[in-house]
Amino acid sequence: MISAIRQLNNLVSNQPKQRFHKSGALIKKGLIKTGIRQTFVSVLIASLLITQWPTTAMSASRIKDLVDFEGIRENQLVGYGLVVGLNGTGDSLNNSPFTKQSLQALLERLGVNTRETNLRTANVAAVMVTGNLPPFSTQGTRMDITVSAIGDAKSLQGGTLLVTPLLAADGNTYAVGQGPVAISGFKAEGEGATITRGVPTVGRIANGAIIEREVKYALKDRETLRLALRNPDLTTAKRIAAAINAYTSEKAAKAIDPATVRLDVPYSYRGQLISLLTDIEQLRIEPDQQAKVIIDEDTGIIVMGRDVKISTVAIAQGNLTVTIAETPVVSQPNEFSENGQTVVVPRTQVGVTDDKEKKLAIVSAGVTLRDLVDGLNALGIGPRDMISILQAIKSAGALQAEIEVM
């Protein structure tokens, strides 16, 4: 690419010089053609630069997608409440005493005494209400909540959540939820069959809670802030710090461990931390990652990172399969036989498959992830057998990656 650019530059430099009259008027007839030629060369050079740009620049990620800024976080809330208006699909009060007690206490607060009454309604369900308080949310704004049955209710379809305080870990109420519950599943049953789709005992209320208390946090006045990496890595932390320092032209950022980058707010940004973070989160870097193989034994799923490599190793895979099939045959006597009896004669077929066609394969050192997968697939190996092979290669010391079994 560099040689091509040099040739184009020589082409431009060899063009006739432009001469001007004292009045500034152009006096060379071919000047217009020269200008067009120079414009074409400039566009061509730009095209070459774009096509030759490193692929790593295209795969770089924003710092915003790699870290969490200290103080900008959600807070989990939880509450206990009642859902009413169910069409006979609520809790059985005899089997759910907490639902009966909550209903009686609610009615008493409303002036209705039911202590001496045998309640038998099935239109009420006790539920747990959960939600995440958004960061820096103000009083009076709304948030989504999730409603989950804790009794033996069959469905929350058509129900309405009554006023439910939502508490944080400190025991204070930060929001109050209420509203109709929307569920994505349903349940229909009869005497001989039952159909259930989804989970009808869990629902959601969009904007169902009003925030009553704010979480105070003076972010703009901080002079030091920590950036927490979502995937801790020494190289990634160092690259983030270098990108921030290059942008601010100061040594404002420093990687203090694989999961944390400390940011000292530059003097020019004092009191303007929000502006600094807005600029920093748009910077792009190439995140690094550890070579790792993730294995899920239950489902047979294998996920390998791009940096997984192996040393030279020979692989052979074969299964000994023994198949036994019983096909009994009924033997009957002739029509006029006096002492003949009908009997069942056993017949057994045994088959053995030892995969003789599968050969020993050699995988060269330093192969890429694509070569490794192609080589294992060429041996006709399924996911289950591939898990055993990868573990065996790791035991042999030929797999340059960490194996993590879920």
Please report which confidence band the pLDDT of residue 246 belongs to, taking 50, 70 and 90 as the band edges: very high
Whole-angstrom distance, CA of residue 187 vs CA of residue 190: 10
* Interstrand relation of 399-400 and 343-345 (parallel, antiparallel or unpaired): unpaired
Task: Summarize pLDDT for 105-164 with one digit per residue, the tens.
Answer: 999 888 888 877 777 888 999 999 999 999 999 999 999 999 999 999 999 999 999 999
Whole-angstrom distance, CA of residue 330 vs CA of residue 218: 88
Contact 204, 130 (CB under 8 A): no
390: closest CA among 305, 321, 320, 322?
Answer: 305
132 beta partners: 76
Mean pLDDT of the chain: 78
129: closest CA among 150, 105, 104?
Answer: 150
Task: Summarize pLDDT for 368-382 with one digit per residue, the tens.
Answer: 656 766 766 776 677
Max Cα–Cα distance, the chain, nearest Å: 137
Contact 262, 44 (CB under 8 A): no
In a 3-state reduction of DSSP, which class is residue 307?
A: coil
Query: Which of 319 and 233 is assigned the larger pLDDT?
Result: 233
Whole-prediction pTM:
0.65
Task: Summarize pLDDT for 292-322 with one digit per residue, the tens.
Answer: 888 887 777 888 777 777 777 776 666 544 5
The whole-number pLDDT of residue 298 equals 76
Distance in angstroms between the alpha carbons of the first and the last residue of the chain:
47
Q: How many CA atoms lie within 13 A of 90 on its CB side?
A: 27
The whole-number pLDDT of residue 221 equals 82
Burial 104-126 (b: 16+ CB within 10 A, else e): bebeeeeeeeeeeeeeeebbbbb
pLDDT exceeds 60 at position 14: no
Whole-angstrom distance, CA of residue 155 vs CA of residue 86: 8
Q: Sort 95 into a burial class: Cβ within 10 Å, 0-12 / 13-18 / 19+.
A: exposed
398: closest CA among 285, 296, 312, 322?
Answer: 312
The whole-number pLDDT of residue 43 equals 43
Residue 65 host element (H or E): none
Most confident of the ranges 15-24, 45-54, 182-191: 182-191
Please report which confidence band the pLDDT of residue 219 belongs to, taking 50, 70 and 90 as the band edges: confident
